[in-house]
């Protein structure tokens, strides 16, 4: 079990300092790639300003790796190409839900058009200045506020007014470490499905390797988050992770550091994977075990109790998502169950707990699909009474997509 004896490595003043706007989208991409990325941003901004009334549009940010100046560079004989998705955040005045109703479809169409021109996925997320200022700090909000490229902002007010609390990495809740491992563990689960198929295509190999690389980063990033040492830069995170090794080591910490180093390199310089399926299966198995060690320690520290196995974690009655409102939890479960009331599992708990339990069993418990008691719990968590096990993965993905 991880203890909280160690103190954060960096001072709050350092971790809260806003970085200068990145001069580049990548660390070492060629000039043609940098120009292509700049042109993509110009096209996006032009499309948004033509779509959203000037009185409504507040600001446009580029987030993700390219917004932080650490975007992936895919080398090739024809030159450098983008690899990461483009994550654009569109601040629109007014209620976010109404704005999503008004603009979601149009943004989706714009994203599809620009994805072809950008040579990488273009995604839009709607927010507002008021929402950014009102929301509590999370890993997502910290990453965005501390590492982004501001493409446009209305001149009558600062784009990030009231967002200073998002600059404190020490304030990121421990539950964010769990959430990160939940999402990357889901990637490992979906990658395992690809590895088990009779036909293994190059596209499947790329999907598997990409999700393994995300898990390699996430193991170290989750530990840093649990200790209040997270940082927006993946290179600085690796440096902090190496410093963490000066504390009393856990048997698997060296493996976490080694895989994190590989994950950082893949994030900055991804490659098309030509590993054999057997090599990827071995690497996947190693990462699956390592992710469990990190999950076990993060959750033991966060919930202040021991979880000797995935089965024990899924069976433990402790509230895995404390601090959420009962009425909201009930409504979220009702929606997740297609409008049907179910007494099991507890409808007053946040449905993310159901995902945490189901993932622990599906990813780390070999007997999950054969042990009658575990199968019954899985069916309950995923609201699959009655349904064959072949439907479980689809049900898991649908539930995860709602709470991730």
Query: Quick one: pLDDT at residue 104?
Result: 94
Q: Phi then psi for 271, rounded to 5 degrees?
A: -130, 150
Residue 42 vs residues 68, 107, 146, 151: alpha-carbon distances, Å: 17, 16, 22, 8
Query: Quick one: pLDDT at residue 156?
Result: 79
Give the residue among 293, 319, 312 at the shortest CA–CA distance from 361.
312
Query: Quick one: pLDDT at residue 2?
Result: 37
- Residue ranges of the chain with pLDDT lower than 50? 1-18
Q: Phi then psi for 119, rounded to 5 degrees?
A: 65, 25
Query: Quick one: pLDDT at residue 16?
Result: 40
Query: Quick one: pLDDT at residue 49?
Result: 95
pLDDT tens for each residue of 185-197: 999 999 999 999 9
Between CA 279 and CA 272 the distance in angstroms is 15
Query: Quick one: pLDDT at residue 334?
Result: 84
Query: Quick one: pLDDT at residue 70?
Result: 95
Between CA 126 and CA 194 the distance in angstroms is 32
Q: Residue 396 region, left (φ>0) first, then alpha (ψ -120 to 50), else beta?
A: alpha
Q: Phi then psi for 81, rounded to 5 degrees?
A: -130, 155
Between CA 157 and CA 167 the distance in angstroms is 19
Query: Quick one: pLDDT at residue 152?
Result: 94
Query: Residue 389 gets which letter from DSSP?
Result: G
pLDDT tens for each residue of 330-360: 888 888 887 788 878 888 999 999 999 999 9
Between CA 263 and CA 214 the distance in angstroms is 7
Q: Phi then psi for 233, rounded to 5 degrees?
A: -90, 130
Q: What is the CATH number of domain 22-171?
A: 3.30.460.10
Query: Quick one: pLDDT at residue 248?
Result: 61
Residue burial 17-31, b: 16+ Cβ < 10 Å; e: rest: eeeeebebbbeebee
Q: Which token pair is 131?
A: 């929402």
Q: Phi then psi for 375, rounded to 5 degrees?
A: -60, -40
Residue spans per domain, the chain: 22-171, 181-309, 324-404
pLDDT tens for each residue of 71-105: 999 998 888 999 999 999 999 999 999 999 999 99
pTM above 0.85, yes or no: yes
Q: Phi then psi for 396, rounded to 5 degrees?
A: -65, -45
Contact, 152 vs 45, CB < 8 A? Answer: yes
């Amino acid at each position: 079990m991880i203890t909280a004896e160690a103190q954060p490595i960096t001072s709050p003043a350092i971790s809260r300092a806003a970085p200068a706007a990145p001069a580049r989208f990548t660390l070492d991409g060629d000039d043609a790639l940098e120009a292509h990325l700049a042109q993509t941003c110009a096209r996006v901004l032009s499309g948004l300003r033509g779509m959203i009334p000037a009185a409504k549009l507040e600001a446009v940010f580029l987030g993700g790796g390219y917004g932080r100046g650490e975007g992936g560079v895919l080398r090739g004989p024809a030159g450098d190409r983008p690899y990461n998705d483009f994550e654009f955040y569109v601040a629109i005045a007014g209620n976010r839900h109404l704005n999503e109703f008004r603009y979601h479809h149009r943004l989706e169409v714009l994203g599809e058009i620009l994805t072809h021109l950008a040579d990488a996925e273009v995604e839009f997320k709607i927010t507002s200045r008021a929402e950014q200022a009102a929301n509590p700090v999370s890993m997502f909000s910290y990453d965005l506020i501390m590492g982004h490229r501001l493409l446009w902002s209305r001149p009558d007010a600062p784009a990030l007014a009231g967002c200073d609390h998002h600059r404190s990495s020490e304030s990121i809740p421990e539950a964010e470490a769990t959430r990160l491992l939940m999402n990357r563990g889901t990637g490992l689960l979906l990658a395992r499905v690809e590895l088990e198929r009779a036909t293994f295509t190059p596209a499947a190999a790329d999907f598997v390797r990409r999700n393994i690389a995300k898990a390699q980063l996430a193991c170290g990033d989750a530990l840093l988050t649990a200790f209040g040492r997270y940082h927006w830069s993946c290179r600085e995170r690796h440096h902090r992770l190496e410093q963490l090794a000066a504390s009393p080591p856990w048997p698997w910490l060296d493996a976490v550091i080694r895989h994190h180093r590989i994950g950082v390199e893949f994030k900055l310089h991804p490659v098309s994977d030509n590993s054999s399926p057997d090599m990827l299966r071995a690497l996947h198995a190693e990462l699956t075990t390592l992710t469990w060690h990190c999950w076990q320690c993060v959750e033991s520290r966060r919930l202040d109790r021991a979880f000797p196995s995935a089965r024990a974690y899924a069976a433990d009655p402790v509230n895995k998502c404390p601090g959420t409102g009962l009425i909201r939890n009930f409504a979220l479960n009702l929606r997740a169950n297609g409008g049907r009331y179910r007494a099991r599992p507890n409808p007053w708990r946040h449905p993310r707990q159901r995902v945490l339990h189901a993932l622990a069993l599906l990813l780390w418990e070999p007997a999950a699909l054969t042990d009658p008691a575990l199968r019954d719990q899985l069916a309950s968590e995923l609201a699959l009474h009655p349904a064959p096990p072949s439907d479980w993965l689809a049900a898991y993905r649908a539930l995860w997509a709602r709470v991730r």
